[in-house]
Structure 1
């Protein structure tokens, strides 16, 4: 039985950390179907960083393979989460693992666990999820030179999602880079909504980079052309919730757009079953898990052309890609709304893409190969 450590800043039942949590959960689910596995997740007990809510600590969760360390959110950002308990006690947990998989960012938990792996001389795999990019400023440059680059260069493997992330990571390390895309479980076909509306879904943290305000603008334009349009905004506050609510009220869209707040896995599936279109206006998304979830649920995907898997989406003809602030975007989406044949083509192509290249089993097999190569050489 392989003993695998998994380290990341936040883990279920917390949802506001976004993609890395979903990816880590997907990895564990697929690996446990492939091989006997004894996982140990190492993370903070922060439940909602923006509101500084914490998960009560108990031994039940640790028995289920998750070790939540008592932590403190010094700021309302993930970079402000620290844990003295993890710093003092986690080294012994690291020593029990054969390999540690670190979902990495410039944050206390992943950086400390990486340093503990180096201290214990344990092999570790780093996955950056597009979160390690060069930043301006003296502090960032010093941190990268003294901490981030040495960790990445000494990792057994550094996993990247696609070519753009590999290019960025080559400024930190070279010989240990390995491609691993995200994957998703293909569940049963979601039921088709019966309502006469055209339903649109925003599913992301309400952070400025996710551009929920642009989503609202697009919905306004669509609704003015077709009053059957309805929308839901689903996700925790990342700074833009107040502005989103204000914009919805100012545009008179209270009966058109519903703001639903954060959602757990079951609720996400319910929202995807409700929607017709998954609309992702955010910029420079590395490899959005929500797009894969929409494909798996046979929903039409509309995304900004800056998404870093655009070549894959174009190659498979799997999504409508719109320009960043192009006023023609509303007209493009309207054309797709009323083109039943084209919608069916995109749905089938997206589902086939997941089935052929991005199923959780395929990704799990690739990851298991990485672990075995790291452990056995």
Structure 2
């Protein structure tokens, strides 16, 4: 099967985060099962003179990144005010229809932007089977520009796609609500998955790790606010902040200075894949204070090596973490008071017996429910159902 995956942006430091990583992971897993996948996206921040991009159809460079066939086009920031939603590439859009027509199925990692939405509309025009995956990014909104985008295209693709994938029941309801009362296309659950790993062992001073984009929505400042509570009882603890800075690093480090804990905090920056796994294996506790992550890959990766996690109750994996005993779930609070609550949860997991129990539970949880191989099997089943449904239709489907 020839599958075209479409995501908005890929950068060397993975600044766009989860959707791009999911797309790369799924492409690798599907290739291992015999499918032929190509990932189409904008690229930014890659070396190359005069805006040329390694892997670009115009640059003459290799067309693989991280083991995946890619077609990357230099991002053009046409609407800087809208950040990632305001970038596009005329060259990508000019070639996209050809890529869509050449595929047996198009899998779009959809958001309200100038890349994924236009390509989804082109798939409808071409009559190529279309699967949408929203990653919690398409929900009801009162923002005028977003509502205009919905009227111009989002509602159409949600209604006419062959399948719409969701991570959680909440995402399923919210995506459907964008169309209400008009029915949405058939919806299927597809969780995120990660590669199975050997379980980690730790030694030395206790280490607490934040590994995600350093942006306000992930609440890295709450990671820092947890530090005084932990250090009061475990002055030997060390805190590691890792991930690309997407706007919140300066305030986060300033808060550490203000609280007098800067000496116990190390910022690692953006990490390569091997460094990510190494940091996860060194950590005693993984702490992600985000209040709204739909289904964090970072949390899954931490648990895949047996690192217990602390998450908030409103994140998509909270119920799984709580049920399995894979860490601690803290009530979500969007104020400074969340720091001490997170700190107490970390201290609880620094107890050796509690840490060992949660570590084993986390490792088993991923192996039993969230391996990439299992997710790829589920996805291929959805693809097969979509293609069978198309084959059963009498004649061409009007778009």
TM-score norm. by structure 2 comes to: 0.87
Aligned pair 1:363/2:356, yes or no? Answer: no
Give 1:194's aligned residue: 203
Q: Deviations over 1:305-349 (max 9, x none)?
A: 1112322222222220112344444233323312x2222221111
Structure 1 residue 14, shift from structure 2 partner: 4.5
Relative to 1, partners in 2 of residues 1:163 and 1:54: Cα closer, same or farther, differing over 3 Å? Answer: farther
Partner of 2:387: 375
Which residue of structure 1 aligns with residue 396 of structure 2? Answer: none
Q: Tell me: CA distance 1:210–1:84, structure 2 relative to 1, closer, same or farther (3 Å).
A: same
Please tell me whether the aligned partners of residues 306 and 362 of structure 2 are also in contact (alpha carbons under 8 angstroms).
Answer: yes
Report the CA distance shift for 1:100/1:138 in structure 2 as closer, same or farther (over 3 A).
same
| Unpaired stretches in structure 1, ≥5 consecutive residues | none
CA distance in structure 2 between the aligned counterparts of 1:220 and 1:105, rounded to whole angstroms: 38
Separation in 1, partners of 2:169, 2:345: 28
2:75 paired residue among 71, 74, 77: 71
CA deviations 1:104-130 (Å, max 9, x no partner) are: 111111111111111211111110111
2-side partners of 1:137 and 1:26: how far apart? 32
TM-score (normalizing by structure 1): 0.92
- Map residues 249-328 of structure 1 onto 2, 5 A cutoff: 249-323=257-331, 324=333, 325-326=337-338, 327-328=340-341
Match of 2:347 in 1: 334
- Does 2:61 align with 1:60? yes
- 8 A Cα contact 1:210 1:283, kept in partner: yes
Summarize deviations over 1:61-116 as a string: whole Å, max 9, x none.
33662101132124272112111111112211111100011111111111111111
- In structure 1, the residue matched to 2:355 is 343
Question: Would the aligned equivalents of 1:47 and 1:54 in 2 still touch at CA under 8 Å?
Answer: no
Query: Residue in 2 aligned with 1:99?
Result: 105
Q: The residue matched to 1:320 in structure 2 has which SS?
A: strand
Among 185, 209, 215, the residue aligned to 1:207: 215
Q: Distance in 1 between the 2:229 and 2:133 partners?
A: 39
CA distance in 2, matches of 1:223, 1:99: 53
Aligned residues: 368
- Distance apart, 1:131 and its partner CA: 0.8
Q: State the Cα distance separating 1:295 from its structure 2 match.
A: 0.9
SS in 1 for 2:293: coil
What is the aligned partner in structure 1 of residue 186 from structure 2? 176
> Considering only aligned residues, what root-mean-square deviation do their CA atoms show, in Å?
1.9
Is 1:9 aligned with 2:8?
yes
How far apart, in 2, do the equivalents of 1:62 and 1:94 lie? 18
Shift in alpha-carbon separation, 1:54–1:159, aligned structure 2, 3 A: farther
Alignment counterpart, residue 230 of structure 2, candidates 222, 228, 239: 222
Decide whether the 8 Å contact of 2:199 with 2:363 is kept in 1: no
- Aligned 8 A contact 1:279 1:301 in 2: yes
CA distance in 2, matches of 1:116, 1:175: 17
Residue 55 (structure 1) shift: 4.0
Q: Deviations over 1:148-193 (max 9, x none)?
A: 1111111111000011101101213534111101111112223x23
2:392 maps to what in 1? none
